[in-house]
Amino acid sequence: MDRLLNVVALLSAGLIVVVLASLRRAHIRVEYSVSWLAAGVCLLVFSRAEGTLIWLAGVLGLAEPPLALLFISFSVFLLVFYRFSMIISELKDANIALTQRVAILQYELQSLHEKGQAEKAG
């Protein structure tokens, strides 16, 4: 169990470092990094709290405490993915509305241009 917890702690620390590095290089926006940083910190904390894992495994009826860590990891990343699904949906709606608005404005601009040319010619 100790080895597994150490590996998870290392991976969590790695995740936090990668996210911070991405933030520094502006590869990821601050608002979208929060979920990943929270996930990394959460896993790091649990991987260092063996007593809590044993207690949680007892509460969940799991035979092995490492399964509790897997359960936590799964839940945390499920939440992160759900949040990103919501963000993607909002972005898609915004993209559609923007695309339609751009098309309509372009259309109206073209109409005005044609009208102006017709008036000039007339």
Partner 1 sequence: MRRPTGADSLLIIVPAYNEEGAVGEVVCEIRQVMPETPVLVIDDCSSDCTAVVARMAGADVLSLPHHLGLGGCVQAGYRLAYELGYQYVIRVDGDGQHDPRDLPAIFRALRESGCEMVIGSRFLDGEENHTSFLRGLGIRFFRLVLRPILGKPVRDPTSGFVGVNRAALEVFSRSFPLEYPEIEALVVLQRKAFRFVEVPCRVRPRRAGRSSITAVKSFYYIIHVLLGVFVNVLKYEGWRPRRR
Report the nearest approach of partner 1 to the CB of residue 99 (Å): 5
Report the nearest approach of partner 1 to the CB of residue 101 (Å): 8
> Contact positions toward partner 1, by CB under 8 A?
95-96, 99-100, 102-104, 106-107, 111
Pick 27 or 92: Cβ nearer partner 1: 92
Report the nearest approach of partner 1 to the CB of residue 78 (Å): 20
Orientation of helix 2-24 relative to helix 50-60, angle to 10°? 110
Q: Which residue has the tokens 């207690």?
A: 55
Q: How far apart are CA 68 and CA 16, in angstroms?
A: 21
Pick 78 or 96: Cβ nearer partner 1: 96
* Best CA proximity match to 70, nearest among 93, 88, 92, 46: 46
Pick 6 or 99: Cβ nearer partner 1: 99
- In the DSSP assignment, the letter for residue 15 is H
